[in-house]
Each structure stands twice: as C-alpha cells, then as structure tokens.
C-alpha cells in the first residue's frame, strides 16, 4: 500500500487548514519574539504611533505608491483568514488575538483607503524616527532606530550570544556527539533539540539587528517559512526598494542644508554638506549603498545557516501518543499544544491519500489526556497524539512532518502484519500488539 503525501488534500480542506494554522501560530507563537523584545528591559505595552509605527504598506505587502485598488485587494486577501466562520472553529483563547489582528488590518485599510488620511500617514511614515512594525506586532526595539551607526550595531551584536544563551563551542561538541550516535538517547535528543533552539534564536537576533539597521523587513511572526533563504532574498529585494527611497530622502535633506546621518570615516561632513552639496551627496550615496550591500551579504549567510537549523528542528519533531495500546491506525487525531492552549486536527487515509478528516468536530475537543474524555475518539479507531509547538519552527511543516511520521509507522506495521498473514491490524478499532512507542 502506498500513501500519497502530496496532493492528498481537497482544496477547501487544505485552505481551511492553512488559514487555521496561520491563526493558531499568530495566537500561540508570539512568545518566541517576545523574548527578543524583553531581553533588554521590561516595558509597558507599546502604543502604535507613540512607541512604534505600523508600516501598513508592509503589512499588506504592497509598495508605498500602490493604487487604492491594489491595496484593497491585498487587504481583502489578508482579512479573509479572519472570517467569522473560520474563527468559530477556533478555540476561545485564540479568538481575542484574532480579533486584534483583524482590527489592525481594518485600521490599515481605513487609513490607506482615503486620500487625506493616507497623505497624513505617508508624511508620518517619512518623518518617523522610531521603531517600525512591518507586521502589526507591538515593538520594543533594542535598535531604537533602524539606520543606527555601525558602532552601536556592533555593540548590540556583541551581546547576542548572551541574549540567546547560545554557546558555539558547546553546540559543536553536542552536535558531534549526536551525529556520531546511530540511536541517540532521549536525554541526548532533548539536549540537542534545545541547543538547536538556542542557535535558532541566536541566528534570528543576529539577522534581525542587521536587517533593522538598513530597513530590511524581518521574519518576526515566530512562524518562519521552510523556504527561509528564499524568503530572506525576497525581503532583501523589498528592503532595497525602501532603502533607496530613504537614500533619496537623505539626499533631499542634504540639498536643503540638513545632515541626515554622518557617514563613517568622513571628517567635517557637515561642513562638506554645507559647502559642496554634490560631493556630500556622492559620499552619502556611496556609503549608504555599500552599507546595504554588506548587511545583505551578512543576512544571506545567516539565512542559509538558519534554514539548515529549521530543517533539522522539523526533522527532530516528535509527538507523544495518548492512551496508546501499541497499534498505529489509519486515523490520527493530532494535537498542537502551546502556552495558551491547544488545537486538534484529524487525519485519515482515503484511497491511499492522507487527508483531513471532516467527521470529527475538532473545535469542540478539550483536554484528551483524560481517558474517559478520549474514549469516544479511541472507540472510533483513532490514535491520539500531541506535540509541543516549537518556537521559530514553521508550524505547517512541523505538523505535516508528524502526520507523515505517524502514517509511516502505520505502513510499517501493516507490512509486518501482512508478513504474518494478519490483515486486520491497524484497521478500525485498535487491537493490542507487541509494538510500543
């Protein structure tokens, strides 16, 4: 028997799952990036327009000169993931965060859809000298200003290892030990998984500070894509467009007799700008472009390394089976557990395809660790498994990795049963077997 892992989802079920997983990740996963914001100093709730500014163009993923029609299309695409019908299936603890997310999208559309309010907002965006949030998340930014001087940036980067708890030498030794073992112990696996998480945070911080220093958008939703390097390349290209716009603003400041930022290594730049604006503009443009190129190269190197870490963390993902009696069935109820709650998804096999099982009302399921509460699900022949969502790991890929691992176990058990001439193991109600987790 061969199960299809690609193309096995019907379109409505697939997009519903993507939307709901996106909602859950935005509701449960922010603690990863909250760590970044509280490493320096605890602060009261940040306020948009006071402590930070939301870049609504970045939020809708449109250029700043986008037409109202284009912005409306982008807004509608974003807001549809928060439709009441989708939220109704989500657990109550997720709904408040979802409502706040929808409020931000609506606020952005309200501002950008009207000529006067958009013009006022554009002026505020140009003159803003504080942290900018490109996804609507409140920001307490250690860099304070995205185009900070190199000396300050190097000082912050020097503290990244301490912030993240990452020790490169210790990690290298642990990784060598893990890779040298064919069957690592659970203790070693957990230690290595924790070390990968620390390295991921280290790389994320290193990338974020460099990106913020030249205005490149960072992947700060706590749920990065498995194609992290490709996404980083796209963020750099988008950042290059914004950076070039800001260079032009700086040049306008020089032309008007102001100094936007003193280029490194240039003595008396203010005097040069006052006496020879053309020379000052040439110096400013050259240094700004060199700075962006340097930071971009550093970010790509970090992104390459981080993608490898993300892939490894997904590979090491495991789920714990509840009330398991040794048999893997062709139906699994998978629970995703976060700090603020958990959500369930049911999968089963239909004509050799793994697909979402609509027969289970997963939105009404509670804590199934209690055998009595789980019994009705077990009686239907489902395995029940639960996993801890990992900070900084793509939730969709982690979920599907565990789904595929379950059905690999199911197929292996089916093969063993066929060799014994037993065609009933794993079908319908679970039967006892010698196999255990």
Residues 272 and 141 in one domain: yes
Tens digit of each residue's pLDDT (9 = 90 or more) over 97-115: 777 888 889 999 999 999 9
pTM above 0.85, yes or no: no
Closest CA to 146 of 85, 249, 57, 215: 215
Residues 340 and 435 in one domain: yes
Pairing of strands 383-388, 320-322: antiparallel
Q: Quick one: what percent of the chain has pLDDT higher than 70?
A: 74
Residues 17 and 72 in one domain: no
Please identify, among 315, 332, 362, the residue that sits at the C-terminal boundary of a domain. Answer: 315
Residues 141 and 260 in one domain: yes
Residues 124 and 257 in one domain: yes
Name which of 227-241, 254-268, 288-302, 371-385 the model is least confident about. 254-268
Please identify, among 276, 298, 315, the residue that sits at the C-terminal boundary of a domain. Answer: 315
- Where is pLDDT greater, at 64 or 46? 64
- Secondary structure letter of residue 356 according to DSSP: E
The 10 Å Cβ neighbour count of residue 50 is 8
The 10 Å Cβ neighbour count of residue 412 is 12
The 10 Å Cβ neighbour count of residue 287 is 17
Please identify, among 315, 335, 358, the residue that sits at the C-terminal boundary of a domain. Answer: 315
Mean pLDDT for all residues in the chain? 78
CA 73 remoteness from chain centre = 23
CA 82 remoteness from chain centre = 18
Residues 298 and 330 in one domain: no
Residues 78 and 25 in one domain: no
Contact present, 403 and 293 (Cβ < 8 Å): no
Closest CA to 107 of 128, 87, 133: 133
Contact present, 263 and 65 (Cβ < 8 Å): no
Pairing of strands 132-133, 53-54: parallel
Rounded CA separation 332/356 (Å): 10
Residues 310 and 323 in one domain: no
The backbone torsions φ and ψ at residue 135, rounded to the nearest 5 degrees and listed phi first, read -130, 5
CA distances (Å), 252 to each of 86, 237, 335, in order?
Answer: 48, 23, 55
Tokens of 76: 């509608």
- Secondary structure letter of residue 48 according to DSSP: B
Residues 36 and 61 in one domain: no
Contact present, 392 and 222 (Cβ < 8 Å): yes
* Structural domains counted in the chain: 2
Name which of 136-150, 234-248, 299-313, 374-388 the model is least confident about. 136-150
Domain membership of residue 391 as a residue range: 1-43+318-437
Residues 190 and 278 in one domain: yes
Contacts of 251 (CB under 8 A, 6+ apart): 281, 284, 285
Rounded CA separation 165/96 (Å): 32
Residues 154 and 234 in one domain: yes
* Strand, helix or coil for residue 347: strand
Rounded CA separation 185/196 (Å): 16
pLDDT for res 367:
81
Rounded CA separation 246/57 (Å): 15
Q: H or E element: which one contains 334? A: strand 331-338
Closest CA to 195 of 169, 171, 168, 173: 171
Tokens of 252: 């306008």
Residues β-bridged to residue 337? 342, 388
Contact present, 26 and 365 (Cβ < 8 Å): no
- pLDDT of residue 25 exceeding 70: no
The CA-based angle 156-161-167, given to 5 degrees, is: 165
Rounded CA separation 392/320 (Å): 20
Q: What is the CA radius of gyration of the chain?
A: 26
Residues 112 and 183 in one domain: yes
The confidence band for 249, taking pLDDT boundaries of 50, 70 and 90, is confident
The confidence band for 70, taking pLDDT boundaries of 50, 70 and 90, is very high
């Amino acid at each position: 028997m061969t199960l299809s892992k690609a193309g096995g989802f019907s379109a409505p079920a697939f997009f519903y799952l993507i939307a709901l997983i996106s909602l859950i990740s935005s509701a449960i996963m922010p603690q990863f990036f909250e760590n970044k914001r509280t490493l320096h100093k605890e602060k009261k709730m940040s306020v948009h327009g006071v402590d930070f500014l939301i870049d609504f163009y970045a939020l809708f993923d449109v250029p700043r000169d986008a037409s109202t029609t284009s912005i409306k299309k982008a807004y509608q695409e974003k807001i549809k993931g928060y439709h009441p019908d989708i939220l109704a299936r989500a657990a109550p603890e997720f709904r408040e965060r979802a409502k706040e997310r929808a409020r931000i999208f609506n606020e952005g559309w309200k501002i950008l859809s009207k000529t006067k309010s958009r013009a006022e907002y554009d002026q505020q965006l140009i003159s803003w000298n504080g942290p900018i949030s490109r996804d609507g998340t409140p920001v307490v930014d250690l860099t304070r200003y995205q185009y900070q001087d190199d000396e300050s940036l190097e000082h912050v980067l020097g503290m990244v290892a301490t912030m993240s708890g990452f020790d490169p030498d210790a990690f290298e030794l642990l990784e060598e030990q893990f890779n040298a073992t064919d069957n690592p112990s659970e203790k070693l696996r957990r230690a290595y998984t924790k070390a990968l998480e620390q390295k991921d945070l280290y790389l994320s911080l290193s990338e974020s500070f460099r990106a913020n220093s030249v205005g490149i958008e960072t992947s700060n939703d706590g749920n990065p894509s498995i194609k992290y390097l490709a996404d980083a390349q796209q963020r750099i290209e988008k950042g290059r467009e914004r950076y070039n716009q800001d260079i032009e603003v700086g040049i306008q400041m020089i032309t008007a007799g102001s100094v936007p930022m003193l280029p490194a290594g240039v003595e008396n730049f203010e005097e040069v700008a006052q006496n020879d604006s053309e020379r000052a503009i040439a110096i400013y443009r050259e240094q700004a472009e060199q700075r962006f190129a340097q930071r971009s190269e550093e970010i790509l190197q970090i992104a390459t390394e981080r993608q490898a870490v993300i892939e490894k963390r997904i590979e090491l993902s495991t789920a714990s089976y509840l009330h398991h009696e040794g048999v893997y069935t062709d139906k699994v109820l998978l629970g995703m557990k976060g700090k603020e709650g958990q959500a369930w998804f049911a999968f089963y096999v239909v004509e050799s395809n793994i697909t979402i099982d609509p027969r289970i009302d997963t939105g009404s399921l509670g804590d199934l660790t209690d055998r009595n509460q789980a019994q009705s699900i077990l009686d239907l022949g489902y395995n029940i498994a639960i996993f801890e969502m990992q900070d900084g790991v793509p939730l969709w890929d982690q979920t599907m990795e565990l789904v595929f691992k379950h059905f690999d176990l199911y197929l292996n058990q089916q093969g063993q049963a066929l060799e014994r001439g037993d065609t009933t193991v794993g079908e319908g109600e679970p039967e006892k077997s010698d196999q255990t987790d």
